[in-house]
Structure 1
Amino acid sequence: MSPANLILPVFIHDGEQNIPIASMPGVDRLGWRHGLLDSVAEARSHGVNSVVLFPKTPEELKTPTGEEAFNADGLVQRSIRLLKDRFPDLEVYTDVALDPYNSDGHDGIVRDDGVILNDETVEFLCRQAVSQARAGADCVSPSDMMDGRVGAIRRALDREGFTGVSIMAYTAKYASAYYGPFRDALASAPKAGQEHRIIPPNKKTYQQDPANYREALREARLDEAEGADIMMVKPGLPYLDIIRLLRDNSTLPIAAYHVSGEYAMLKAAAERGWLNERDAVLEALLSLRRAGSDLILTYYATQAAKWMAGE
């Protein structure tokens, strides 16, 4: 394991000051200019040259269909251009999903009766991916779990001439209890229903059942056939068996997301003196690598790189 295996997820907002995230000690919602550039510069100085962007969208810009996702001058698009201008060789990954922009808090468009509209959502995801590619993204990462979205995004990118933009598919994304701090960071949890509309209280109709092992293999075969360049398992540590399943059944690179809940647990135990933070974090990341991950998305990326260097 080395810093080259790590991808740093960064939360950004449309302001100048960094805002601490209470449930993720040591992680801030970064001001999209100076905070973002400073954080990325520090990561690069320790060998971490890959980042993935997650935006906190102002509530007034959210709609049931999430059109802000493909605003050419939106927060993510501006941030990509800023990063590529300052660090041309930085690997910029993006998130492709509607939940940061959806007033209902879902990854897809919600019909009034509570059904997630798959095909209508995929059309919007394609617009989002193309918009990010046009801004300079190196790899788009559909995390929405809609059916058929990898193939549709690949065709949309190719039609617009972005044949060199890669797709990192969230292939096995489980309906997990470990996402809570992430949703705090982006205020992206599903919203309560309204009088005339039903809003599903969770994402279990499109994310995977934690009890289901075989579905991950079906999803992997579909994503690979549709043109995915990298396949991801999320969360990481509770799903080491799924990482190994994909590793043993594909030649594609495999990514694992060491998610916010995993980070928060390690931080909380370390703050109480119950764990040696350095040793526990490096062991956790090493286990993700050993299980078969080529890439690991982790909020510890910069700190872990320092520890690997003996700092």
Structure 2
Amino acid sequence: MKPTVAPFPAARLRRARQTAAIRGMVRENTLTPDDLIWPVFVRDGDGIVEPVASMPGVVRRSVDKIAQAAIEAQALGIPAICLFPYTDPSLKTEDCAEAWKPDNLTNRAIRAIKQAAPDIAVMTDVALDPYNINGHDGYVVDGEIINDATVEALVKMTLAQAESGADIIGPSDMMDGRIGAMRQGLEAAGHHNVMILSYAAKYASAFYGPFRDAVGASGALQGDKKTYQMDPANTNEALRLIERDLNEGTDMVMVKPGMPYLDICRRVKETFGVPTFAYQVSGEYAMIQAAAQNGWIDGEKVMLESLMCFKRAGCDGVLSYFAPEVAKILNG
């Protein structure tokens, strides 16, 4: 589309900015609670709400408190909540068998949420890093993260979550072929309506540090994840990955991290026109919170502006730790 503008003074573009009412009339993008997915951290125990030091305002909750949080999110109009487990180190092993146990933390939390807040969608994380003694998303053999055996494990994890009542599976592992294997497994098991929101373009980013603190993976990680997560310098590769995941049966796609990769969000939406999401990751959240706490920025305004940026870039929704706070503001 080529803009057509009359010469000045026939066109005074500031006319459309002069009052809040007029600005609202011509606003190109809007932000509502429907645009939000709330990532939450679940841990073992009862009655526990435990702060995450590197993410001010974010906590780990026991399963009973996760259910309460889901009730609050549902009342705020947040459509989905995404679970990430803080696994006891004693349960982390090389075979990652805790990942697909029916009564592991994630699966217990899914059932608790579905009972307490049945109208909210439950999204899960599928990757081995919360259960892996070496902190990687896949099995490690002689220093190499191996693909095919990892995919087999991820399918077992997917099916256990679907059996527990998950609505949306979120594969964050970045193994090749995992979407097709998961879709085939879900169909064969009769889970025809379980959706997949693939972390299709997940970059090997330095913005994930506080998240790894939150799930207890920082100390466990040996080496880095550059052999399976994307190089931050690449853009065309992201489109190939998105196309592959769509061909294998994902319903929605995600770009991660968020604001540093808005160009990727825009290219994905314009190229494929599919439901496109971004993850405003822990480092993005922590930077905004830290600057706000130091009085360097207006935290509320920057929070809202940052989320509007995703909508402007073409995203249909955003995973954000700000979700409850934003929903309260938007609800008035």
TM-score (norm: length of structure 1): 0.95
Q: Tell me whether 1:246 sits opposite 2:268 in the alignment.
A: yes
Per-residue deviation, residues 246-269 of structure 1 (Å, max 9, x unmatched): 101113200100000000000000
Pairwise mapping of residues 130-279 of structure 1 onto structure 2 (< 5 A)?
130-189=159-218, 191=220, 199=222, 201-279=223-301
User: Shift of residue 141 of structure 1?
Assistant: 0.6
* 50, 53, 58: which one aligns with 1:22: 53
Q: 1:100 corresponds to which residue?
A: 130
Per-residue deviation, residues 268-295 of structure 1 (Å, max 9, x unmatched): 0000111111110100000011101111
Q: 1:39 corresponds to which residue?
A: 69
User: Shift of residue 189 of structure 1?
Assistant: 3.1
TM-score (norm: length of structure 2): 0.89
User: Structure 2, unaligned stretches of length 5 or more?
Assistant: 1-30
Distance across 2 between alignment mates of 1:79 and 1:309? 27
Q: Residue 106 of structure 1 contacts residue 189 of structure 1 at CA under 8 Å; is this kept in 2?
A: no
Q: Specify the code of the residue in structure 2 equivalent to 1:49.
A: P
> In structure 2, do the counterparts of structure 1 residues 244 and 190 end up closer, same or farther at CA, with 3 Å as the change threshold?
farther
User: Shift of residue 190 of structure 1?
Assistant: 6.6
Q: Specify the code of the residue in structure 1 equivalent to 2:180.
A: G
Cα RMSD, aligned residues only: 1.0
Q: Tell me whether 1:88 sits opposite 2:123 in the alignment.
A: no
Q: 1:125 corresponds to which residue?
A: 154
Per-residue deviation, residues 170-194 of structure 1 (Å, max 9, x unmatched): 01000001000000001113736xx
Where 1:167 maps in the other structure, the secondary structure is: strand
Distance across 1 between alignment mates of 2:219 and 2:89? 13
Q: Specify the code of the residue in structure 1 equivalent to 2:306.
A: A
* 7, 18, 42: which one aligns with 1:12: 42
User: Shift of residue 234 of structure 1?
Assistant: 0.3
Distance across 2 between alignment mates of 1:142 and 1:37? 23
Q: Tell me whether 1:289 sits opposite 2:311 in the alignment.
A: yes
Q: Residue 55 of structure 1 contacts residue 75 of structure 1 at CA under 8 Å; is this kept in 2?
A: yes
What's the % identity of the aligned pairs?
A: 50
Q: 2:321 corresponds to which residue?
A: 299
Q: Specify the code of the residue in structure 1 equivalent to 2:164.
A: A
Per-residue deviation, residues 103-122 of structure 1 (Å, max 9, x unmatched): 010000000x2111100000
Where 1:169 maps in the other structure, the secondary structure is: strand
User: Structure 1, unaligned stretches of length 5 or more?
Assistant: 193-198
Q: Specify the code of the residue in structure 1 equivalent to 2:37.
A: I
Q: Residue 141 of structure 1 contacts residue 168 of structure 1 at CA under 8 Å; is this kept in 2?
A: yes
Per-residue deviation, residues 49-85 of structure 1 (Å, max 9, x unmatched): 3100000111111111211110011111111111111
Distance across 2 between alignment mates of 1:305 and 1:83? 19
Q: Specify the code of the residue in structure 2 equivalent to 1:302.
A: P
Q: Residue 190 of structure 1 contacts residue 202 of structure 1 at CA under 8 Å; is this kept in 2?
A: no
Distance across 2 between alignment mates of 1:262 and 1:207? 18
Where 1:189 maps in the other structure, the secondary structure is: coil
Q: Specify the code of the residue in structure 2 equivalent to 1:243.
A: C
Q: 2:26 corresponds to which residue?
A: none
Q: Specify the code of the residue in structure 2 equivalent to 1:136.
A: G
